[in-house]
Amino acid sequence: MFGNLFEEEEDEGGSSSTHLPPKGGDEPPPARGRSDLCGIKNQGGTCYLNSLLQTLLFTPEFREELFSLGPDELGCLEDKEKPGAKVRLIPLELQRLFARLLLVDQQSASTANLTDSFGWNSSEGTNQHDVQELNRILFSALEHSLVGTSGSTFIHRLYHGTIVNSIVCKECGNVSQRQEDFLDLTACVCGVLSLEEALWNMFVEEELFEGNNLYCCAQCDRLVTAAKSAKLQKLPPFLTMSLLRFSFDFAKCERYKETGRYSFPLTFNLRPFCEQTNGDDSDYTYDLFSVIIHKGGCYGGHYHVYIRDIDQLGRWEPPEEDCKPKTQRKVKEEVKEAFEPKLQEDDPLSVLTTIIAQEPSKTVLVDQLGQKLMNMIGSSWSKKFRKPYGPIGKFLQSHNDVFMLVSNATRVALKTNLPSPVTEPPVPTELTTNSDPSTASDPGAAEQQQGSDQKPEPEPEGSHWFDLNDSAVTSIRESDIEKQFQGKESAYMLFYRKTQLQRPSEALNNPQYKVPFHLVQKAQEENIKVQEMRQKFEATNNTVELRLHLAPCYRLDNGALQPADKEPNEGTTLSFDRRQTVGVLRLTIYQMQELWEGDMALTVAKSLPAGLHLYNTLTDDNVSLYSAGIYTNSDLFVWNGREVCGAAILTGAEWEPVLLTVVRPFLDEDVEQEARNGVEYKESGGGFENGGPGLKREARGFAGGVTLGEVKEALGEPKESLLCQEHKGGKIGEQGAGEGGGASGWRVFPPDDMQRTLKELSLKDGDALLVLEPQSFDSSVFSLNGDVVTVTTPSDCRWLQVEFQPHGGGGGEGEVEERRKIKVPATGNMLLGEVKQRAMEELQQKAPGANYCLRQVDCTGKLLPPVCEELSVRDAGVRLMTTLTLCLGNAPKASQLFLHFSVGAAPSTGMEMDIIVEETSTVKECLKSMLDAVGLDGTCWHLRRLDWCEEVGEPLMEEDASLSELKISSGDSLVVTEGQLPPKGFLNLSMWLYLDPQNAETDFKHTDTVKTAGETQSPSAPLCGGSTVELRSVGQVEISDEVTLEDLKTQVLTLPALQNMFVPTTAFMRVWQLEGGRLARILRGQQLTLRKLKLSSGTDLCVQQLLKEEDLGPKEVLLTVKMGVPGERSFYTPEELLWDASRDSSPRSLRTCLAAHYGLSPDSLLLAKHQPDKHIWEEISNWNQQVSKKKKKKRTESLLGAPFHLKDGDTIGIKNLLIDNNRDFVTLEDKQGQQRLREQAEQRRKGEKAAGSDVTAPQKNAGQTKSRKPEVALSINVGEFR
């Protein structure tokens, strides 16, 4: 019933951020906090497990019983892989976890090994369950694991109790009794005000059987009036109470949580509820020592636990809010009340500020703010303010100058109510000046005058209370437990211990008490190892490698700095401590360059395709390199700050150079005549890269801030010359550019663009710029239609050669003599059926009953599958001026596949058979067709693919899947193999290739000529952030989940479709995981196994070729960043940015990283995250900063968590507020997308309204129920030890 009832909300955790290693090395785990107690890491949804484990750890008797079991009874973890060894994993892992929590100096311990011993997979770590259910299942698993040991009954001894149920006949007095065992008691919450009342109802009140509900008495042998009651017969040393907070409303058919007040005592006596009452009071008295708390609603939340430190293992400190005297807090409240705003019910800002100001704590729970607003003005937010102001959460965020979220975004406060990190608010004179001189001279009298309530509450000696919230451990007062009586954050499980249980003095303040020696020794070794890691990390993590570029070694060329000797200049490498200042670095460089004269300026530089470019200059010598944004592998240019070799240097992101490909005509009379005759011209002189006949190309760099007109002047072109940009949108044929297969279209820049800069025109590195003089249009190569220039090169000649081959390839010399070749005039738009018809007419091949088809031939002379005659030459991928073979056979239709197959083994040359099937056919139907074709029958057959070695490969496991779903395309070879389908073993991963939009046309031109078998072109796939990339399916990989990511990359490179992909090492490849057709995450860790990466069979992966090695750290995020065009609703070309969030994931860190990237001031940048599904931008600001009263420093929320959840591929928009006053990130494309979403929502609403007219009201309500995750049962797997 409560399958996903306790699904954890990400914002509710309150646990500290996990420290992950940066790229430079492994970061050691943080040391314990001020409490000197160790927390437990949350695996994603295991807060319920963490709370229960901490409770068991701080139950000393449970802990010592567990530690008393030695290796002779439990076995050793080192022997768990040995066959026949009886290793009791669960108690062993629990022992080791408890020892780490007690003795290892780390902030939090991991439960991964323990949950592995439970038999849980990776998904169990993210599914949260009921802690009451876990308590029973864990105790049962421990009892089964300890069968046959001395500890087999310790759970029974500590927690077992009995209840006796009695039924008394009112007529004969016969008593019928039945005993009931329990390990925990459940107490009702609904309609009950306290735990004592619930126990009274359970064990004191009698239930009468009367009227229509009579009891059948065995002695009277008839239905009689009777009374039923229950009593506690045996009390356990430890009493666990489970509160039934969650109920089901059968009237509304929905779950709900009881949030009303429900009190429970810290100490209480169970004598009134027991059967035997003649013992001492100590036999019935229990003390509370643990409270597991559930925070949230009935469909999600978070667990943490309040625990009394019985053995005084921790260091208790007063909570922060108790540190200041109450008189000072009272004075501050009086000062603030004097400035509270007056309520204006029509102004939501006034209403909300008044509500928050009237609260004693000056904060309000966000989910209670709407109810308090209704109580104050008599109307809800939705009715009064939602239409003009939007949702209440958006209103709070838009007024971040007034409101501020605190306590993990669960409470809202006024910024003016927060104490300043430096000073406190001024205190009025009348509140501090004492007119009574005797009072002023006597502090005791002043304290007596203020009242006894002003004295700080003393904390009793002895054990103290702590809040253990996953990794975080904080001190609390005993009085804080009363706050958990009611509300959405309230007590859920109570743990009591008998008062008569006393701890020995040697156990106090001694975490090693009764811990086995071998576990103490392991903990000491781990502490030594962690301490060495911390020392090494501290020494190495602050050393950065800097590349120094000296001005005398460079010259200004093509808008960027180039090496003076025309050889690659890697610069001088300098290792430096980033905690040192810029002044110390400048002095160090002075000492290295003894011959340097004059001023020395240090400027952050970056190597671009056009050359070296300078950004911001380090001017403040007192700033550390870390504060200046200097990290390892940073480039620094050393110069005088004014010029290099006499040339002035333009610095900053707006002058970032762009490397363009300048294309010019290359025509003479010979080339012109051959172009008219349709003869391909091959340039013999060389010298031009990828230019082709008729064009020559040259790479030129220009500053991004220059205008297009200045570019034309720099090229030395006359004013009447035209500049054109390559047309990339739509098909050229639609632009009237001609029908040939190789024509290219160019768009002429309008005159207004001549005054725009290259950055404003979104020109990027590698873009082509065609320069044409007016006389160029006299040539047949260039034609102008409107603003589109069509370039028709000799490779666009319009003919196809058809070769007649009567026997379908192969044969002897006699067959070669029968071959005849003819040329058929053809265009890109001509249907292949017409080409075949013309060829047959000219070849006079009209044999009755004979069918012919056209087939391409690869470079080895092998016939490729027949082309579809329903497609045009261009759509079928057939290039003009190539040869087609006319063979006997049928041509497949557009909806059909032409497959090769063989029976039993891989086909030898010429021995494979062909078949045409529908692409929607299932594997089972395809197999049947193949068996019918060869005259076989039976069910013990299955299909397999051929791998890249032309050997029998992986089987087609999904028999009911269609061929198109399995990415089977025309020309694939299948093998009909005898036997049933093999069991699923290895991972079956579908691989895709990431086609870089900038290099897709040049890097994969071979795919236009010959399609690789099994290769299909997919639609554009969206990135996480909304950008689109082209993905190409390259096949599937069957691989073990025990291999590493590096091994996976190596095997992927062996796929036939990637044979032309050259990478020096696997570090030059990036692997994405696809989810729902989107690039979801980058797989990190070359040596991590696929199981550790949580990959499952059927996962789609995408490989991307890189230009440099990449080894991303766990918290390095790959973002797509776009700088806004000033004054326009558009962006410059997006770029990739690697942001290291391992040490600081706050908005300030990201802003600093972007500022260093663009060479701007961090305070001038405005950031926003794009949400492609909603076509909106979410502004990233520091409005939810908190101020720590003790540390006096700001603590910002992580961008990796709520509400932004930044991940790989997300798009970040940037506005430079120094030159752009428009703070709106929404583009025209976003507006159009929002309109489409509104239209779709309206259509759905109309459809639901029409469909719901025939549905009853209960069905309508049921249809509006929020969808939930499928319910998952909780279980722990235990071995057999009987």
Catalytic residues: 47, 302
How far apart CA 674 and CA 463 sit, in angstroms, is 99
Contacts of 794 (CB under 8 A, 6+ apart): 671, 674, 675, 678, 679, 680, 681, 693, 694
Which residues sit opposite 1194 in a β-bridge?
1187
* Helix orientation angle between 366-377 and 348-358, rounded to the nearest 10 degrees: 110
Contacts of 128 (CB under 8 A, 6+ apart): 6, 7, 8, 45, 46, 47, 48, 303
How far apart CA 901 and CA 916 sit, in angstroms, is 11
Which residues sit opposite 976 in a β-bridge?
903, 943
Angle at CA of residue 1151, ends 1149 and 1153, nearest 5°: 70
Structure tokens at 967: 């990415």
Strands 489-498 and 238-244: antiparallel
Angle at CA of residue 311, ends 310 and 313, nearest 5°: 115
Q: What is the DSSP letter of 885?
A: E
How far apart CA 1139 and CA 972 sit, in angstroms, is 43
Burial class (CB in 10 A: 0-12, 13-18, 19+), 96: middle
Residue reference for tokens 């008295």 = 285
* Residues 157-180 as b or e (16 or more Cβ within 10 Å = b): ebbbbebbebbbbeeeeeeeeeee
Structure tokens at 1268: 């939930």
SS3 content of the chain, % helix, strand, coil (to 5): 30, 30, 45
Type and span of the H or E element at 538: helix 517-540
Three-state DSSP state, 716: coil
Query: Which residue from 942, 954, 950 is spatially nearest to 991, judged by alpha carbons?
Result: 954
How far apart CA 1106 and CA 1154 sit, in angstroms, is 22
How far apart CA 505 and CA 311 sit, in angstroms, is 9
- C-alpha distances (whole Å) from 75 to each of 677, 930, 982 are 88, 57, 37
How far apart CA 29 and CA 706 sit, in angstroms, is 51
CB 497 within 8 A of CB 289: yes
Query: Which residue from 1111, 1090, 1140 is spatially nearest to 20, judged by alpha carbons?
Result: 1140
Contacts 24+ apart (CB under 8 A), 80-87: 86/1279, 86/1281
- C-alpha distances (whole Å) from 346 to each of 340, 375, 376, 1208 are 17, 15, 12, 44
Q: What is the DSSP letter of 555?
A: E
Residue reference for tokens 């006393």 = 502
Burial class (CB in 10 A: 0-12, 13-18, 19+), 1057: buried
CB 161 within 8 A of CB 182: yes
CB 53 within 8 A of CB 138: no
Q: What is the DSSP letter of 768?
A: E
CB 663 within 8 A of CB 697: yes
CB 107 within 8 A of CB 471: yes
